[in-house]
Amino acid sequence: MIENNIFNISNITTTTLEKPRFVKPLRINYTQDNKEKSWEAVKSHDSVSILLYHKTKNAFLVVKQFRPPVYVHHHNYPFTYELCAGIIDKNMSFTQIAQEEIDEECGYKVELNQISKISSFFTNVGVSGAKQHLYFAQIDENMKIHNGGGINDEKIELEFIPIEKSKEFIYDESKAKTPGLIFAFYWFYENNI
């Protein structure tokens, strides 16, 4: 069952993807050691993600979203906990995209010089091979400009994870979370606590 069901999900079905907007299913054919091979893959956008640390609350701000692929495979996980993030699909710098996502998803106005790069890594290497660029920003309530929650028909819940409970959160298998979120938390522990 979906707790605090703002997501209001019902009637889930699957169909063949005819004209995809964000991902392109494909077969990759190649030769390795003189043997013909193939691999099923999905071409998708690279992305940015941002670890947000709220100074006054001494907590990380994460987003909760319904992710259909996770739910279709694992009904016990109707939503995932993730870093604020977005795909790279605009002619903007990665930092500008990060700034825009912080505004849209979380409702905070963060200046570009307050967003710093942590690292980049590859996500879902067996399927998409997309690259994620990870950033960090500190926020406080003086930077709050609206309630967040995404744009258009996005349904995003915001949740603060207190630093003192964040390691327990990482290991709580009842909560679906991304490897990027876990990596970002550990980066923070090594660099800020």
Examine the pLDDT at 41 and tell me if it is beyond 60: yes
The pLDDT tens digits of the residues spanning 59-76 come to 999 999 999 889 889 989
Backbone angles phi, psi at 171, to 5 degrees: -90, 0
- The confidence score (pLDDT) of residue 4 equals 45
Examine the pLDDT at 36 and tell me if it is beyond 90: no
What tokens were used for 143?
């930077």
Q: Kindly report the average pLDDT of the chain as a whole number.
A: 90
What tokens were used for 78?
């109707």
Q: Compute the average pLDDT of residues 18-43.
A: 83
Round to the nearest angstrom and report the end-to-end CA distance of the chain: 36
Q: CA 188, CA 60: separation in Å to the nearest integer?
A: 10
Q: What is the DSSP letter of 84?
A: E
Q: Which amino acid belongs to residue 62?
A: V
Model-wide pTM > 0.85: yes
Higher pLDDT, 155 or 184: 184
CA distances from 160 to 57, 61, 144, 147 (A): 8, 5, 14, 14
CATH match for 47-192 among 3.40.50.40, 2.60.120.330, 2.60.40.10, 3.90.79.10: 3.90.79.10
Going from N- to C-terminal start, the domains of the chain cover: 47-192
Higher pLDDT, 160 or 25: 160
For residues 106 and 59, is the Cβ–Cβ distance under 8 A?
no
By C-alpha distance, which of 113, 111, 112, 123 is closest to 42?
123
Q: CA 71, CA 9: separation in Å to the nearest integer?
A: 10
